[in-house]
Amino acid sequence: MTGSRWALEGISQSVSLLLPGFVMEVLPEIDSTNSELIRRARAGRDAPTLLVAEAQTAGRGRLGRNWQDGAGQPGSALKFSLGLPLAPADWSGLSLAVGLAVAESLHPEIRLKWPNDLWWQGRKLAGILVETAGAAHATGRFVVIGIGINIEPLEGQDFSTRPAWLQALDPSLDAPAALARIALPLVRAVRAFERHGFAPLAERFNERDAFAGLAVRLSDGTEGQALGVAANGALRVRTRTELREIISSEVSVRPLLAAGDASPAPSPFSTPSSSPSGRA
């Protein structure tokens, strides 16, 4: 029976202490867990909800991209969304706080690619999509946090770079076990973000920053050296003329590659000894 292997009772009991009225549900198939929670919120069903899909037919990523999740390979990915009313003083850095919580829950080798991906050994392991639904009300805006994690290797799909998968780091983690490890720390992190914002997390994020000290190119063509994130979650990039702080809605970041090499190029903006720790 769908949901019988997902430890619903244990997760619900622990999370309900932080989110009264919390609901957890597992569906065999849905277009998108984010889309479903947004539809429910707009229809007035805005209880805190964790919605898991065993299959998604129209998963979405950042900037409207499709998310390939191993359709036809049951158990190859963990796909879920957490929806809840939230009222932080500043929303900046929420996706970074979510990524940090997931990474710290799963494995010390997982790195964070600003603003919303988890990487392992230079390849994407997981993605995060944060959206809000409807107007603000007494308990804050309804935020939907979608997370997709590759559990097993994805076969038979056209990838320029094959994604990473969680069982390469920890073979004991299938999708239900990964969710059981993530759910409570994720909710704690989101609640802490609501109270304190991203600033207390910046140092921990930078310790896992996949691009720290590397040369990068922004989507507007600007090139520079990535210097981690600021207290508000903005990406700090040293160009040849200035230190810029980039917010997530402005750019997509890619490491510059040396010719014929699959590894990020060393930065031309500093000496190697000045590069921070935490490189992927």
Active site residue 124: yes
Residue pointed to by tokens 């200035």 = 242
CA 93 to chain centre: 11
Q: Write down the catalytic residue from 5, 124, 238, 279.
A: 124
State yes or no: is 254 an active-site residue: yes
Cα 118 to Cα 136: distance, rounded to the nearest angstrom = 30
Tell me the one-letter amino acid at 172.
S
Please confirm, yes or no, whether 79 is among the known catalytic residues. no
Catalytic residue among 45, 65, 162, 254: 254
Instruction: Give the C-alpha distances (Å, rounded to integers) separating 223 from 49, 115, 153, 212, 216.
Output: 41, 17, 33, 14, 6
Q: Where are the beta strands (DSSP E) in 54-155?
A: 77-86, 111-113, 117-120, 123-137, 140-150
Q: Which one of 5, 62, 123, 181 is the catalytic residue?
A: 62
| Dihedral of the alpha carbons of 36, 141, 114, 34, in degrees to the nearest 10 | 0
Active site residues: 62, 124, 254
